[in-house]
Structure 1
């Protein structure tokens, strides 16, 4: 079967699926817009990134300006493939950037399977939830309307769409809640993300073993939507009560999904200034982004892993931490409660309460048998999200022509 994979940041959501499909003997062609090296068993076509408009277009129209440029460039690459007598049997694509909008003009009969990820709601930007961040105003609502309209247009051309979690699927309006929607996660590799009591190596000058009580916090960006500010305030209490605990923090200091601090500064700088003199910085390690093997090692060495989030997408890092047998302290509510039951696979706390977070962490540091029990249950649950479970389901969807 010939498959066309489209993702501006390829491989993106196809990181596990693409090599799996290639291994099964499918012929793959992929399209992206970045220039980074990609390990890929297939032909990779690239297009130029859209040019930005200055000053920026208002109220979500900038997304459409960008998306239509991408649609045009992808369509011309598809036309090039068509002129070469290469025609896909299926098109697999992320819908978030408009890349698929012109493909029907070349291949009107080819089934498109899309990964739309989320229907954006005000709560997904933390509006009215993050302390100090007001409810979404007209400007934010119109921006979200622009993005959702782009998704809606893409789905109007699709035969099926895939969401990784029930929480993300439930964000979509009823019109998209039918047999075309499939909840299948991309999957994690639990043979790599697994417990390792003998873990020992160095990351940026820090020796990683299980001999030192370690608390970990991991996100793409250190931001309020993922509770970085709550974690840092809790860390003051944890350090005060536990003189040996080490905190290892992974993530960039870019603005993130909910935007920067109202001052425009990074949340890291703001929190370090707010908590100046209250933190022992010698026991806090900001690592920025790390390689995936290093991240797995951090999870394997962690005594307690903290994962906080207001309603949004579920990060792979939580599932991988669970697969490593981490003792998890998470935030109550979605998306965390889809994978963690309080007191079973981990412990849940209110999202905005640093004192309760700190007390739960300290209690777990003092109770190794409970940490082991929760970590073992987390590992067992994570096995259900393994790519050996999810990739056959995704492949069946791709190969099932008559049911699309």
Structure 2
């Protein structure tokens, strides 16, 4: 298994394969502890170039990663070790040299996304300008590296139809398998009696609670729209509290600015928000995240077209009543009025209205939450891991 941020997409698959008696060897470039029974090899992060376009930087990094991983593979081969399968993420160029070491070993890759302008918000975000030549060249560099990696692969895996449909037609054939990584619906499940303290807040289901969860608080995931909806919500609902999980970095959208979006939004909405009822929790451990979702009355998940976050499926599995954004990727897992309520992403007033309606309607909240839970069971890792195992053994 090759992934610079191992386990990454293999978080569930690696222990599943080990539990079935497979010998795993993993290669990564970080120094964090990893729970793995097998051997773990690490290589150094690439040296950065200065004064070059990002597209060129990506290829430079990819070549360095490919050389480092190939040398580790060569040392394994010299010791007489040979894998039956190579599993890797194609996004960083790490697998590009492995066919030189083991030309007859099948490679199964996780491309994740064929990057297009809309995935960065271009053409769909009215506040973004037309895509620049530099951004186009960056995407060209990423996709060219993916194309080179797939040329050596016998199969590739995408977690959703939306992400699979981002691939050019030449890669949408029998080699493509749409299989989600899966979530643990025995951990992510409803818990009406949830109660715990987090950063000085007692969290349970007695207080009307709105939740938002993202890796980073960014416009690509609708954080600004969410914040602009809150003044109306607070005015009309004096008891509601808001729990926000996520880091304060630029995120997938790569937004530039003198201040992070969180600070910009607090400045824009100064005097309009009850800050005593907004709790920014940052990034929290997974068990605490599950408790936050279990305490939620209404969960908001907005996104421009991009990858589907695991947190949405986990929120559904927890029985959350969800207000999401229309279109990809959310509409692939939520049907409007069935598993949740869908609205246009750039509509803070409509978001506020829908949240207020649901806060006042426990019967509908419970109905939507039950349906969301049932849909999430289709993504249970006990199902998806079996599908992945069958694909790997084919």
Q: What does 1:277-316 correspond to in 2, within 5 Å?
A: 277-316=271-310
Counterpart of 2:326?
332
Q: How does 1:12-91 map to 2 (within 5 A)?
A: 12-55=8-51, 57-91=52-86
Deviations 1:180-229 (A, max 9, x none): 00000000000000000000111111111000000000000000000000
Shift of 1:137: 2.0
Deviations 1:233-274 (A, max 9, x none): 00111111101100000000110111124x332100100000
Using the TM superposition, give the Cα deviation of residue 139 of structure 1 relative to its aligned residue in structure 2, in angstroms: 1.5
Which residue of 2 is the match for residue 385 of structure 1? 379
Is the Cα–Cα contact under 8 Å of residues 122 and 135 in structure 1 kept in the other structure?
no
Q: Cα deviations across residues 298-340 of structure 1 (Å, max 9, x unaligned)?
A: 0000000000000000000000000000000000000000000
3-state SS of 1:219 partner? strand
Q: What does 1:221-236 correspond to in 2, within 5 Å?
A: 221-236=216-231
Deviation, structure 1 residue 53: 1.3
Task: Show the 5 A alignment for 1:138-149.
Answer: 138-149=133-144
- Please give the alpha-carbon distance, in whole angstroms, between the structure 2 residues aligned to 1:306 and 1:74: 40
> How big is each residue's C-alpha offset from its partner over 1:57-101, in whole Å with a ceiling of 9 and x where there is no partner?
215010000010000000000001001111000000000000000
Q: Which residue of 2 aligns with 1:137?
A: 132
Using the alignment, how far apart are the partners of 1:46 and 1:14 within structure 2? 16
Partner Cα separation in structure 2 for residue 322 and residue 328 of structure 1: 8
- Deviation track 1:341-362 (CA, whole Å, cap 9, x = no partner) reads 0000000011100000000000
Unmatched segments (≥5 aa) in structure 2: none
Q: TM-score, normalised by structure 2?
A: 0.99
- Aligned residue in 2 for 1:195: 190
What is the DSSP-based 3-state SS (H/G/I as helix, E as strand, rest coil) of the residue aligned with 1:235? helix
Measure the CA separation in 1 of the matches of 2:184 and 2:265: 34
Aligned CA RMSD, in angstroms, stands at: 0.7
Residues of 1 paired with 2:131 and 2:375: CA distance?
Answer: 36
Residue 9 (structure 1) aligned to one of 5, 17, 26: 5
- Report the TM-score when normalising by structure 1: 0.97
Listed one character per residue, the Cα deviations across residues 89-129 of structure 1 (whole Å, up to 9, x for unaligned) are 00000000000000111000000000000000000001122
Distance in 1 of aligned mates of 2:197 and 2:66: 44
Query: In structure 1, what is the Cα distance between the partners aligned to 2:124 and 2:254?
Result: 14
1:155 to 150, 153, 166: 150
What secondary structure is seen at the aligned counterpart in 2 of 1:285?
strand
Structure 2 distance, partners of 1:286, 1:65, is 38
Q: Distance in 1 between matches of 2:341 and 2:77?
A: 54
Q: Which stretches of structure 1, 4 residues or more, deviate above 6 A after TM superposition? A: none
Q: Choose 152-161 or 235-244, whichever is displaced more.
A: 235-244
- Counting only pairs closer than 5 Å after superposition, residues 347-362 of structure 1 correspond to structure 2 as 347-362=341-356
Among residues 239, 264, 267, which one is paired with 1:270 in the alignment?
264
Q: Which moved more, 1:136-145 or 1:160-169?
A: 136-145
Contact persistence 1:98–1:154 (CA under 8 A): yes
Task: Determine if contact 1:130/1:224 at 8 Å carries over to the other structure.
Answer: no
State the distance in 1 between where 2:127 and 2:57 align: 27
Pick from 362, 367, 381 the counterpart of residue 368 of structure 1.
362
Question: How many residue pairs align between the two structures?
Answer: 394
